[in-house]
Structure 1
Amino acid sequence: MDRRLFLAAALAGLAAPALAPIRANAQRPPSRTRWKVRASEGFDALAFLGPLAGGELYLRYYQADADAFAPRLPAAVRADIAALWQEAETADFGLMGPVLSVLYSGGDDSSLASLIAASADPETLLLPAYRASNNWDEKDWRWFLSAAPRLKAVFEAMADAGFAAFRAERTAGLDARIAELGRDLAAYDVISLHEKLTGRSFDPQIEVVLLQFCKPHGIKVQGQTFLQAADWNTAITVRNAAHEMLHPPVPMDGAAAKAALALLEKDELVMHIVREHDPKWGYTTLDGLLNEDLAQALDQLIGEALGVGRNPADRWRQSDDGIHVLAGAFYGMLRDDKWIETGGSIENWLARAVDSGRLAPARLHAIAARVLERPADRLWPLIAP
């Protein structure tokens, strides 16, 4: 499974601009985008595994919650959550909570009881949807099957410890937030821009699941559904939707992606980023980084068109220790090509970029340096001020 799925919104709240008003236009066609906003006890339980496992990435947000709930669990269960999380990373399953969210998203996510049922019979309740999705990964499925009995025991212990009531105390007002966000999102036609900038067709519905315990992640699961923190504002939600629905921006097993990968694997800077960056950010393969960074370049164009875009140099300096140099380069090329105005097949665009030599290191680094406002010979790692 592509490790990039889970950290796209890790710093989404930094420097979030005020929402720019969308100008009324009587000639503007009806919006293609239908927004659905809801909550999920099951996804919140999966997200809470990160704090319960003691992950530093999560405790900065949920230390008090973990301190309050963890003592309700048997010591053996607490230890096994941490062990499962470590085993998942060692086996290259990835960040356990986010990847499990993808796997369980093919079934009923409404409650802990539904997670317990799916863990007891994953071949029937989860496998058909997961295998049919573009998230399918046989290795990840094998690891999950081996862990499913232990996960079932964890969820049963969380249920016995009163997780549903614990969460309900912390999500007071969530129904009002769901209604408010649904109204605000109606003005943002993300799907039309997805279709224009990729040359593909998209389902018009985007489903946003608001969670209490998912920070810092914005998580794309099966279908056109993504998970995010309930208190993230509308601008962040639009940016998340613009990004998450794009994955993958091109078929990663297609000729264009393979040609790009063959070139980029000869780029010492790009491969240095892949191999040496902090793995907590994900994107530990060149395939995953290309997938992520081309999507980020496109979502930056969409955010700007909708009035919610961040300054690109600030965005990519503050995100994931500055590793998204490719995103800056792709964005610069697309801006040069006036892609937001013309649109077209992004797969064909990538193939042309390869054939014309635009991905050669010298040209790629120069464009990235212009966008990221960094010297071309010091694009990464960032030097702390």
Structure 2
Amino acid sequence: MDALCFLNPLSGESFYARYYAEELARFTPRFPSDAVPLIKQLMASSKAQHRMMGPFLCLVFSAGPTGTLADLRGALTNAETRLLPGFRASPYWEPEAWDWFLTARPELARVLEALAASDFPTFRREVLGDLVEQRAAELRQRLAGVDVIAEQERLLGHRLEEDITIDLLHFSKPHGIKVIGQRFLTHRTYSDALIIRNAAHEILHPPFDATHPSILAALEVLRRDPLLPRIVADHDPAFGYTTLEGLFDEDTAEALEQLITERLGVAVPARERWRKADDGMHVLAAGLYGLLKADGFERTGGVIQEWLGKAAHEGRLGSASLHASAAGVLGLPSEQLWVPPAPK
């Protein structure tokens, strides 16, 4: 998984490379130069599909074995048998996404071959030593008494598996990445509180059945909002969430996560969080959170999918109600909930 995430900074994009200047300076001289244009090509084509390359590749490959670089190469070669069944059975299945993956397979195979030729596994061990093992031991002790799953079940309204798997990575900044199953990827240096927040957030995805009539009805209301489609169109696409459906999924999870982490005592204050995160684009999350708090949803629990359908039916997801809720959470006038980023 670290190998897949390292493709982002290897592409040269400043959004990722800024976190790994030292590692890139050490690794790039040993990396075949003809592989870099292939990574750039993969990055561009994934963006055209409104997908973040590294996180998406981690998602697909999580349908198969991911312990070694050799595992990845074997799974890619035999993707139809090793990856397709698990990916198709997951909530993330999209035929278009799989088609892109197969189209990108030749270039991706050459990139993984280049990582093997430059001995990325040894390079990673040189960079990390035993830091991951040390951090894992610390986290096991800290997380032993934290029951994130129970809180999530209360708000989702359905049972989850008992365990969460956390992969500690080095090259994953700035993302937390949910993959197939109750598994997510996070950076090894993130604080205990942040990793608990990651766990509280990532396992919520997807927070609802995107094909359910109540969710489709809610989406129709949100599409008529004068602000939300503009945020989707005009925000920095490096943050992801380039469709309204994707933003709705993410911001519902963020609103629920905020309720959970407040109960667990590890929350960032809602106003501070959403005024800063991703250039302030998560207005929908703030609005949903405010409405959920007004209903005491964090105390009563419930089925979030049913709550969203009811809120849409009652007009509470309409712009007047939603914007007023977001304004109260963010401490901003309703007409100033989001400012588009300055052109670069």
TM (norm. structure 1) is: 0.86
Question: 2:65 corresponds to which residue?
Answer: 108
Helix, strand or coil at the partner of 1:215: coil
Q: Which amino acid aligns with 1:374?
A: L
Write out the 4+ residue segments of structure 1 that deviate beyond 6 Å after TM superposition.
none
Q: Deviations over 1:53-102 (max 9, x none)?
A: 11111111012211211221222112211122112212x05111110000
Alpha-carbon distance in structure 1 between the residues aligned to 2:132 and 2:217: 46
Q: Could you tell me how far 1:383 is from its partner in structure 2?
A: 8.7
Alpha-carbon distance in structure 2 between the residues aligned to 1:272 and 1:302: 29
Q: Which has the higher contact order (CA 8 A, sep 6+)?
A: 1
Alpha-carbon distance in structure 2 between the residues aligned to 1:278 and 1:93: 12
2:312 corresponds to 1:354: yes
Q: Which amino acid aligns with 1:145?
A: L
Q: For the Cα contact (< 8 Å) 1:105–1:221, is it kept in 2?
A: yes
2:242 to 266, 269, 284: 284
The answer to which structure has the higher helix fraction is 2
Q: What percentage of residue pairs aligned between the two structures are identical?
A: 46
Q: For the Cα contact (< 8 Å) 2:167–2:185, is it kept in 1?
A: yes
> Matched residue pairs, number?
341
Question: 1:247 corresponds to which residue?
Answer: 205
Q: For the Cα contact (< 8 Å) 2:270–2:286, is it kept in 1?
A: yes
Instruction: Structure 1 unaligned segments of length 5 or more: list them.
Output: 1-42
Alpha-carbon distance in structure 1 between the residues aligned to 2:156 and 2:296: 14
Q: Could you tell me how far 1:357 is from its partner in structure 2?
A: 1.3
Alpha-carbon distance in structure 2 between the residues aligned to 1:73 and 1:170: 16
Helix, strand or coil at the partner of 1:228: strand
Alpha-carbon distance in structure 2 between the residues aligned to 1:290 and 1:261: 8
2:56 corresponds to 1:56: no
Question: 2:117 corresponds to which residue?
Answer: 160
Q: Could you tell me how far 1:274 is from its partner in structure 2?
A: 1.4
Q: For the Cα contact (< 8 Å) 1:70–1:78, is it kept in 2?
A: no
Alpha-carbon distance in structure 1 between the residues aligned to 2:310 and 2:60: 35
Question: 1:141 corresponds to which residue?
Answer: 98
Q: Which amino acid aligns with 2:95?
A: E
Q: Could you tell me how far 1:149 is from its partner in structure 2?
A: 2.2
Q: Could you tell me how far 1:155 is from its partner in structure 2?
A: 1.2
Q: Which amino acid aligns with 1:370?
A: G
Q: Which amino acid aligns with 2:234?
A: E
1:1-385 alignment, distance < 5 Å: 43-90=1-48, 92=49, 94-172=51-129, 173-381=131-339
State the superposition RMSD in angstroms: 1.3
Alpha-carbon distance in structure 2 between the residues aligned to 1:187 and 1:231: 21
**Aligned in 2, Cα 1:381/1:96: closer, same or farther, shift over 3 Å?**
same
Q: Which 10-residue stretch deviates more, 76-85 or 159-168?
A: 76-85
Q: Could you tell me how far 1:253 is from its partner in structure 2?
A: 0.9
Alpha-carbon distance in structure 1 between the residues aligned to 2:336 and 2:80: 49
Helix, strand or coil at the partner of 1:205: coil
TM (norm. structure 2) is: 0.96
Alpha-carbon distance in structure 2 between the residues aligned to 1:53 and 1:99: 15
Alpha-carbon distance in structure 1 between the residues aligned to 2:202 and 2:256: 11
Q: Could you tell me how far 1:359 is from its partner in structure 2?
A: 1.2
Q: For the Cα contact (< 8 Å) 1:170–1:212, is it kept in 2?
A: no
Alpha-carbon distance in structure 2 between the residues aligned to 1:150 and 1:269: 39
Helix, strand or coil at the partner of 1:227: strand
